[in-house]
Amino acid sequence: MVLLKEISIQAGEVHIPGQFFYPDEDGPFATVVVFHGSDGFKPNHGEISHELAEEGFAVLAPAWFGAHPLRSHWDRVQTKDLQQMAYWLKTQPNVDSSRMGCMGFSRGGGLALIFSSMVRQTRAVVNYFGLTSWKDGLEEFPHLPLRREDPLAFVQDIPCPILSFHGDQDTVVPVENTYLLDDACRRFDVKHDLVIYPDVNHSFVWSGDKYDKTAHLDSWSKTLKFLKLNLRVS
């Protein structure tokens, strides 16, 4: 059985809403932070989080934009928002903060990577078709640690392995984003496993015209194996 709490995380003057899923049993649990994409928090993200909790994880799913009064759009996210998410988890008695992972979808995939570079307790990152090129990073994300001359320089601070999934026919976030990430990981000696699905578009894990059952099932199986291995969940 999975329990769910509606939560609010204070980051300065802003309260970031979210959902916290966890197994109905004794903890503490390894924890995964799930970052939604630029379409906002959707039922799909709750379903993914629930599935992770069924596998033995505690899961924080923050609505990282849409928070009031300032985080009305994804370009308003700040480093303190990410830091406060990690701090909130550390204060939960049923969370083992030494076994923390994160995953994100689309723009949330890029945010998961930045989160892991800032939170040293992170032990695994799963990046689903994530935006990582950050070509206009300073303009789009003025409050995040991105450098104009090398937008992926933050990768050198990621303390853990990364697993990425991308379709080679992605029309929203081109697969080149993941290739750029892979180049940065090689440059900074960060372990990166990437899985490229042929003839697969963006958002292949969600229902709709871009859904691909084979890629969905394969990526989910690999995700669970990766998280359980690196967060030590049997």
The CATH number of whichever domain residue 175 belongs to comes to 3.40.50.1820
Q: Count of domains in the chain?
A: 1
Residue recorded with tokens 């069924």: 54
Range of the domain at 32: 2-231
Question: Which of the four pLDDT bands, split at 50, 70 and 90, describes residue 71?
Answer: low
179-195 per-position pLDDT tens digit? 999 999 999 999 999 99
Question: Interhelix angle for 79-90 vs 107-118, to 10°?
Answer: 70
23-35 per-position pLDDT tens digit? 999 999 999 999 9
pLDDT at 77: 74
pLDDT at 117: 95
Per-residue H/E/C for the chain? CEEEEEEEEEECCEEEEEEEEEECCCCCEEEEEEECCCCCCCHHHHHHHHHHHHCCCEEEEECCCCCECCCCCHHHCCHHHHHHHHHHHHCCCCEEEEEEEEEEECHHHHHHHHHHHHCCCEEEEEEECCCCCCCCHHHHCCCCCCECCECCHHHHHCCCCEEEEEECCCCCCCCHHHHHHHHHHHHHCCCEEEEEECCCCCCCCCCCCCCCHHHHHHHHHHHHHHHHHHHCCC
Average pLDDT on 170-179 reads 95
Residue recorded with tokens 């409050």: 143
What percentage of the chain carries pLDDT values higher than 90? Answer: 72
Question: Which of the four pLDDT bands, split at 50, 70 and 90, describes residue 81?
Answer: confident
